[in-house]
Amino acid sequence: MVEQYSTLSWRNGLPVSGVLLTLLSLVGCSLGPEYVRPQNHATSESAFLSDLSGRDAAEVAAPAESSWWLRFNDPLLNAWISRLHSENLDLRVSLERIEQSRQQVRIQSGARWPALGISGDGGRRFAPDALANGERDYRSEVNLASGISWQLDLFGRIRQGIKAAHYQASAREQDYIGLRQSLIAELVGHRARLALLEKEIEIQQTIVSSREQTLNTVNRRYRLGVKNASAVDVHTARENLSTAQATFNALKLALDETYLAVDRLLNQAPGGERLSSVGFPLLPPMPVPVLISPAQLLDQRPDILGSELRLKAANAGIGVAVADLFPDLTLTASGGFVGSQIGGLLVNDQAVGSIITQLNTRLFEGGRLRAQIRLREAEARELAWQYANVVLTAMIEVETALVQERSLRAQVDNLLASVASARRAEALSRERYQRGITSLLELLETQRRWQNAERNLLAAQQASWNARINLHLALGGDWQLGQPVPPQSRSRGKEK
């Protein structure tokens, strides 16, 4: 997979008699290995194992990142994401990094062009005149000169450097897209978390009210001297009520913390407007996103694209290091005028100039240049393995999210039935306790089971949301619904 990043073999043992011919044949060429995408698991798989939709992934179009969150039909979430795009501080930092990379491209590109300069000076000097009885000899001198210097890119060192800078800038753009997707996913997760917390607070308030009723019933039975009603029952009921109230307060705290997390993402002052989540679905809507093939994933996930672009930059860096083995040719020309006064300076009689061709080559540097090539090759191999790891991780993330999606749907169905049964059991147990048929401990046990069933259901619903969000994130977007979000810039470095 990474054999192409071992290029020294074709340069070792070059015959001395062939050096000149080799140099002439390489003039105008870019040295270094030609980039080839490394083989990886995605190119050998035609579909994801857990895709049970029956759709042919190879026929699914793969458009750019799209607004998959629109399927949730939540105006508040849409407004939040719109503000996230324009106000989030992490995105602004990432945009500045993109700008830095673009300027680095311009810096590298400037080396392709001649450097032109102009200078001028004037002065007056004096010295003793030996022929004039000790009198001083005064002379004025005015110089006006310009020069041009151009390093010819005979072996592609500058071209490869520009290409590497382009790839690095494009990788930064993919970093921005990936960060934006992660922040959107985090924001959608907070929106779902708020809805589920509000539902859990509502349920917990019902539990608190139920335990208040239980405590009142126990107190009344104890005061009336009902058989089997004791002070222990009173304290037990009071302890259960206090525990339920503490849980209620903890849920309110979690709600506030989630809103503060939203404030941070949206770059707004803490403690902003708190809107109700009534109407937001407790489960992500069906169907799941349309899947693509693993091979198409390579061109959709920003982390995969960014990793490959950095690999391409490292590949170009090898070309820069190889080009350093060959001579540099620089053309320099200068011209100007020299005279004793400004008037009449710009005439042919006062003109001076020069044209110089300079050829520099490195004959011996103690193996530094070849070590530099090996270093760049090792860096490229490292990035190639990282790329393979990113691809494999992406495939596993998709498979994991698909498995979770399917499993959690069945789990939620089971827990809905469990909650319904637990509610009926709690109501019957309360009625039996009020009639003196059953004990307080049995009532408290059925209440505990009901509360646990409600919590388990909410936890499964939260996990379902997490799985759906992770699936969108793992796929790099939604390939069916919504319109593409216009990126700030999605230009990629091109092979030249």
The pLDDT tens digits for 62-106 are 444 578 888 888 889 999 999 999 999 999 999 999 999 999 999
Confidence of residue 488 (pLDDT cuts 50, 70, 90): very low
In which residue are the tokens 């002379």 written? 139
pLDDT at residue 361, rounded to an integer: 84
Most confident of 53-67, 126-140, 267-281: 267-281
pLDDT at residue 443, rounded to an integer: 86
pLDDT value at 3 more than 80: no
Of 341 and 392, the one with more pLDDT: 392
CB 240, CB 211: distance < 8 Å: yes
pLDDT value at 485 more than 50: no
pLDDT value at 19 more than 50: no
Of 384 and 224, the one with more pLDDT: 384
Q: What CATH number should be reported for the domain whose range is 82-112+155-326+368-482?
A: 1.20.1600.10
What's the rounded mean pLDDT across residues 211-232?
84
pLDDT value at 109 more than 70: yes
**CA–CA separation, 344 and 353 (whole Å):** 18
Of 370 and 285, the one with more pLDDT: 370
**CA–CA separation, 70 and 12 (whole Å):** 59
pLDDT at residue 347, rounded to an integer: 57
CB 335, CB 146: distance < 8 Å: yes
Q: How many CB atoms lie within 10 A of CB 415?
A: 21
What's the rounded mean pLDDT across residues 294-310?
87
What's the rounded mean pLDDT across residues 154-164?
90
Least confident of 109-123, 237-251, 334-348: 334-348
Give me the chain's average pLDDT, please.
81
Of 335 and 303, the one with more pLDDT: 303
pLDDT at residue 306, rounded to an integer: 94
CB 66, CB 481: distance < 8 Å: yes
pLDDT value at 133 more than 80: no
Residue range(s) in the chain whose domain bears CATH number 1.20.1600.10: 82-112+155-326+368-482
What's the rounded mean pLDDT across residues 187-210?
92
Confidence of residue 284 (pLDDT cuts 50, 70, 90): confident
Tell me which residue of 316, 318, 324, 319 sits closest to 374, measured CA to CA: 318
pLDDT at residue 10, rounded to an integer: 40
pLDDT value at 183 more than 90: yes
pLDDT at residue 271, rounded to an integer: 78
pLDDT value at 223 more than 90: no
Least confident of 65-69, 170-174, 296-300: 65-69
pLDDT at residue 11, rounded to an integer: 46
* CB half-sphere exposure, 141, CA atoms < 13 A: 8
CB 97, CB 177: distance < 8 Å: no
In which residue are the tokens 């993919």 written? 174
Confidence of residue 43 (pLDDT cuts 50, 70, 90): low
Exposed, middle or buried, 241 (CB in 10 Å: 0-12/13-18/19+)? buried
pLDDT at residue 274, rounded to an integer: 77
pLDDT value at 248 more than 90: yes
Q: Which two tokens stand for residue 346?
A: 């710009």
Q: Determine what percent of the chain is predicted with pLDDT higher than 70.
A: 78
Type of residue numbered 489: S
Phi-psi region of 334 (alpha: psi -120 to 50; beta: other; left: phi over 0): beta
CB 268, CB 235: distance < 8 Å: no
pLDDT value at 235 more than 80: yes
pLDDT value at 388 more than 60: yes
DSSP string, 468-494: HHHHHHHHTS-SSSSPBPPPS------
What's the rounded mean pLDDT across residues 393-414?
89
Least confident of 65-74, 80-89, 254-263, 302-311: 65-74
What are the tens digits of pLDDT across the range 420-465? 999 999 899 988 888 888 888 888 889 889 989 999 999 999 999 9
pLDDT value at 481 more than 60: no
What's the rounded mean pLDDT across residues 298-327?
91
pLDDT at residue 205, rounded to an integer: 94
Rounded to two decimals, what is the model's pTM?
Answer: 0.80
pLDDT at residue 472, rounded to an integer: 87
Q: How far apart are the first and last CA of the chain?
A: 23
Of 183 and 362, the one with more pLDDT: 183
Cβ neighbours for 109, distance < 8 A, ≥ 6 positions apart: 162, 165
Q: What CATH number should be reported for the domain whose range is 116-126+136-152+328-360?
A: 2.20.200
Residue range(s) in the chain whose domain bears CATH number 2.20.200: 116-126+136-152+328-360
